[in-house]
Amino acid sequence: MISILFKEFNAFLHSLVAYLVIGVFLLAISLFMWVLPEENILDSGFANLDTLFSVGPYILLFLIPAISMKSFAEEKRNGTLELLFTKPISVFEIVLGKFLACFLLAILAILPTLIYYFSVYKLADPIGNVDSAGIAGSYIGLIFLAGIFTAIGIFSSALADNQITAFIGAIFGCYIFYTGFSSISNLFGSGSVADFVDKLGISYHYASLSRGLIDSRDLLYFISAIAITLLSTQYILETKK
């Protein structure tokens, strides 16, 4: 697993993909936070990072599939998937290694945004008058969100025969799991059924963590969703094997 992780991560760092993903993510977030009218911090007069955590998921929804789309689709195109199966490692270790490589790159894109926190911290009046607990919870939620998106991207790549199909499938899957359940719950109005359907979606648990309260139920949801998706990817590859 470690060898797969290092191989995939080094491949990212020696290509333009990693730098494009990080650059596009930071540029898009910076525009929304500091430049675009009505959205930016300087015009709003509020020292918070709400824009980062509200816009960030939608940017990651496109960028993470771009990272993960080649994980297995490229192996199939190059005819190296069968060779990979002959290595003395399990299919799940292959899946986990590729997942961790993509996930680390996603975290690498998120980490530089910490400079926005320190900027807002200094701009606040008085200095430090920011909701640090809420921001910390939002960062945890954003990282777990990136984890689920990465797992969905890996799953889509295992299903697809080419990178474009994997990319489109991953975007669709990420969007459905992020906002789809929330939209469906609105059809039931209010009540226990609507609440249950809403809790199946990512956005409910992401919003819960963003309040700064780290609930074990939210963490269990994210970990379980990632695990189930990776196990599903293993099953798909086992059938191909």
Q: How confident is the model at residue 225, as a pLDDT? A: 93
Q: Is the pLDDT of residue 44 over 70?
A: no
Q: Please state the pTM of the whole predicted model.
A: 0.90
Asked whether 147 and 103 are in contact (CB, 8 A), the reply is yes
pLDDT tens digits along 56-114: 899 999 999 988 888 888 888 877 777 777 778 888 998 999 999 999 999 988 999 89
Q: Is the pLDDT of residue 115 over 80?
A: yes
The encoded tokens of residue 23 equal 């650059």
pLDDT tens digits along 147-187: 999 999 999 999 988 889 999 999 999 999 898 888 888 77
pLDDT tens digits along 189-240: 777 887 888 888 888 888 888 777 788 888 999 999 999 999 999 999 888 7
In the chain, the number of structural domains is 1
Q: Residue 226's domain spans which residues?
A: 2-240
Length of the chain: 241
SS3 131: coil
Interacting residues of 110 by C-beta distance below 8 A, sequence separation 6+: 25, 56, 139, 142, 143, 146
Q: How confident is the model at residue 147, as a pLDDT? A: 94
Q: Residue 2 — very low, low, confident or very high, per pLDDT cuts 50/70/90? A: confident
* CA separation for the pair 166, 173 (Å, rounded): 10
